[in-house]
Chain A
Amino acid sequence: MGDPEIHQLLLHDPEKAFRYTFERYYAGLTVVARFYLDQADEAEDVVQQLFMNIWERQHLEKVEGSIRNYLLSAVRNACINYIQKKQVSEKRLHPLPDQDEMERAFDFLINEEEKQIFSSALQSLPEQSRKSIELVYFSGHSYKKAAVQLNLSVNTLKTHLKNGLQKLRANETIRRYFSEKK
């Protein structure tokens, strides 16, 4: 289901169109919001509120151009407004993220097929390697903290990381993906 189908659906079943929009875009929008907000729950709150507003004010019906563009700028505005309020209460300047990178992430995530290639490659790793990679690179834990959590020595953890990264790099599907893209 893409944007043209959603536009079509809006004409006779706005509720269904809203549901499809949610399914297609919600996760991607949440990740985009994570570019602005450190906490996952803050990001989800902002995006949920955004969907609420879209529903109540019938915004989708009013979108003339691409729904992707509309949602991307809507989530950006919502995050910037949120940050502005936060800046006031915390008296701290929250930096804004790299726009190009954020847009690349969004387009990648609304393409189910591409997303699947990268999740499957990660899932195909031995469990310990995958968990080590998730803790160290995705959650940003130190080697030590990750090792404690997995009940491993730091050296064993490093071996799992090393093997995991080399395997990801050698993954055939991903190699093909990159060579086709070029």
Chain B
Amino acid sequence: MKTNPGEIPDHILDLLALSGTGKIGPDQASQLDEWIKAHPETEQEYKLFIEQMQKHYWAHLSNEVELKSAWQKITDRKETKTHKPAIFRWIAAAAIFILLIAAAWYLVLTFEQKEQTNLADQPALNRSNQAVLVLSDGREHVLGSEKATELHEQGGVHITDNPGEILAYNTEEHDGIEPVMNRLKIPAGARYQLQLSDGTHVWLNAVTEIEYPVAFGNDERRIRLSGEAYFDVHTDPSKPFIIEANGYEIRVTGTSFNVSSYQNDPFMQTTLVVGQVEVTDRNGTKISLAPGQMVTVDNKGQSHTVKKVDTRFYTSWKEGILYFNKVTLYDLSVKLGRWYDADFQFADPQKRNLVYSGAMENSRDIRFLLNLIEQTADVKFSVDGHTVTVQ
């Protein structure tokens, strides 16, 4: 069908309206895509119309909300909280409470039974992987003790391995201490926290290695990283904090940010939460970030992109939560592999490109997530020891 520029036929207008309100089906979406490709001259017009329908829809949803009754509900609950509840209210509340407990108990029981049968079928995947500290003379200490343990480094440096997986260096005066290097190695399936001698706090993700002096010198604070870490850098404008990661340099004075620089990833990512960060790539190009921005530097082509992101997606791992927003199953499998010490094998390479969004807690068994994924897409996982096969 021939159309003048700016003119949109009725059946396309219908599809655009469906698209704007998120009600379009996959067949209709591809029909629309085809038409758009064939009529690039109307691009402006159809984009505007989609935006217009979105706004009609949002306004409609918002107008449907009943402010009066909502306010009533909120103030009712507000009052039951601030005033002593009347005896009837109290009885009703108690009855509901008991019912809730019963319901929760029932859910927990059925859920545990399910999980147990699953576990019985296959061997457990979570290995007890522990972080290792390498001292300057090469001695290795396995970390993760249940009560605070003192470790000794030369020159009288005090290192404490605290419960809760935190390794801390004493923060007293360091004059005269030789800045020998220590290394902390986090294997797959583990995480650890580190408090450096300047008070900087570092969360270390699985499959990560960090090398740092036991005390910093007077002009700068320089460390090396391979893997992923979240930094809460103690502010000290006179001593810039510099991270060397896979040929890049990340320079800050005091700030919170995440660095992901795995050697087997094709890119390095730095996500800034608070403060200011400057990343220098291998050619010496400097990239400055504002809070809420993430830079992705391609390891091969040396190209880089800066974009605004929801930083939660890139930093939540330090709270033990994995958020993933529109990631492919392949990218997800790389992350899960590190978190759970698992090797993913794709028997069907096509399945690498399936896209997922979601959230889950790290404390859960990996099979919990795999089950969820199985139920939403045409994909099957089988677990054998540390290998997960995707079919």
Q: Which residues of A contact B (CB under 8 A)?
A: 19, 22-23, 26-28, 30-31, 34, 40, 44, 47-48, 51-52, 55-56, 80, 83-84, 87-89, 91-96, 99, 101, 105, 108-109, 114-115, 118-119, 121-122, 133-134, 136-138, 140, 161-162, 165-166, 168-169, 174, 178
| B1 CB-CB contact with A under 8 Å | no
- What B residues does A115 contact at CB under 8 A? 58-59, 62
Q: Which residues of B contact A (CB under 8 A)?
A: 8, 10, 13-14, 17-18, 20-21, 23, 48-49, 51-65, 67, 70-71, 73-74, 77-78, 81, 107, 111, 310, 323, 325, 356-361, 371-373, 375-376
- What B residues does A162 contact at CB under 8 A? 10, 13-14
A23 to B107, CA, bound (A): 38
- What A residues does B54 contact at CB under 8 A? 101, 105
Q: CB within 8 A of A52: which of B62, B77, B358?
A: B77
A138 touches B57 (CB 8 A): yes
Q: Given A95-B356, A134-B60, are A26 and B70 neighbors across the interface (CB < 8 Å)?
A: yes
- What B residues does A89 contact at CB under 8 A? 107
- What B residues does A161 contact at CB under 8 A? 14
Q: CB within 8 A of B56: which of A34, A91, A122?
A: A122
- What A residues does B49 contact at CB under 8 A? 169
> Closest residue of chain B to A140, judged by CB?
B23
How many residue pairs link A and B with beta carbons under 8 A? The number is 140
Q: List 11 A-B contacts (CB under 8 A).
A: A22-B71, A27-B62, A34-B61, A48-B74, A56-B81, A108-B59, A118-B56, A118-B59, A136-B17, A138-B61, A168-B52
- What A residues does B63 contact at CB under 8 A? 27, 119
> Closest residue of chain B to A99, judged by CB?
B310
A169 touches B13 (CB 8 A): yes
- What B residues does A19 contact at CB under 8 A? 71
A95 to B355, CA, bound (A): 10
A72 to B357, CA, bound (A): 19
Q: Given A52-B74, A91-B375, A93-B358, are A28 and B17 neighbors across the interface (CB < 8 Å)?
A: no
> Closest residue of chain B to A40, judged by CB?
B64
A101 to B21, CA, bound (A): 12
B357 touches A138 (CB 8 A): no
CB distance from B377 to the nearest CB of A (A): 9
A138 to B62, CA, bound (A): 12
A99 touches B325 (CB 8 A): yes
> Closest residue of chain A to B71, judged by CB?
A22
- What A residues does B81 contact at CB under 8 A? 52, 56
Q: Given A95-B357, A169-B13, are A52 and B65 neighbors across the interface (CB < 8 Å)?
A: no
Q: Given A26-B65, A93-B375, are A88 and B73 neighbors across the interface (CB < 8 Å)?
A: no
Which 9 A-B residue pairings sit nearest by Cβ, starting from the closest?
A96-B357, A140-B23, A27-B62, A95-B357, A93-B372, A118-B59, A27-B65, A119-B59, A118-B55
CB distance from B32 to the nearest CB of A (A): 14
- What A residues does B13 contact at CB under 8 A? 162, 165-166, 169
Q: Given A56-B81, A91-B371, A118-B55, are A96 and B358 neighbors across the interface (CB < 8 Å)?
A: yes
A119 to B55, CA, bound (A): 9
A55 to B73, CA, bound (A): 13
CB distance from B239 to the nearest CB of A (A): 28
A93 touches B373 (CB 8 A): yes
A22 to B71, CA, bound (A): 8
A96 to B74, CA, bound (A): 27
CB distance from B114 to the nearest CB of A (A): 9
- What A residues does B10 contact at CB under 8 A? 162, 165-166
Q: CB within 8 A of B359: which of A22, A96, A133, A168?
A: A96
B372 touches A91 (CB 8 A): yes
A116 to B315, CA, bound (A): 38
Q: Given A22-B71, A89-B107, A169-B52, are A31 and B18 neighbors across the interface (CB < 8 Å)?
A: no
A165 to B18, CA, bound (A): 11
B14 touches A165 (CB 8 A): yes
B78 touches A55 (CB 8 A): yes
- What B residues does A169 contact at CB under 8 A? 8, 13, 49, 52
A106 to B81, CA, bound (A): 30
Q: Given A30-B62, A91-B372, A96-B323, are A84 and B360 neighbors across the interface (CB < 8 Å)?
A: yes
CB distance from A150 to the nearest CB of B (A): 17
- What A residues does B357 contact at CB under 8 A? 95-96
A115 to B358, CA, bound (A): 31
Q: Given A92-B372, A108-B55, are A165 and B17 neighbors across the interface (CB < 8 Å)?
A: yes
A95 touches B65 (CB 8 A): no
Q: Given A88-B111, A168-B56, are A93 and B71 neighbors across the interface (CB < 8 Å)?
A: no
- What A residues does B372 contact at CB under 8 A? 87, 91-93
A42 to B23, CA, bound (A): 20
- What A residues does B111 contact at CB under 8 A? 88
- What B residues does A26 contact at CB under 8 A? 65, 67, 70-71
Q: CB within 8 A of B58: which of A51, A80, A108, A121?
A: A108
> Closest residue of chain A to B376, judged by CB?
A93
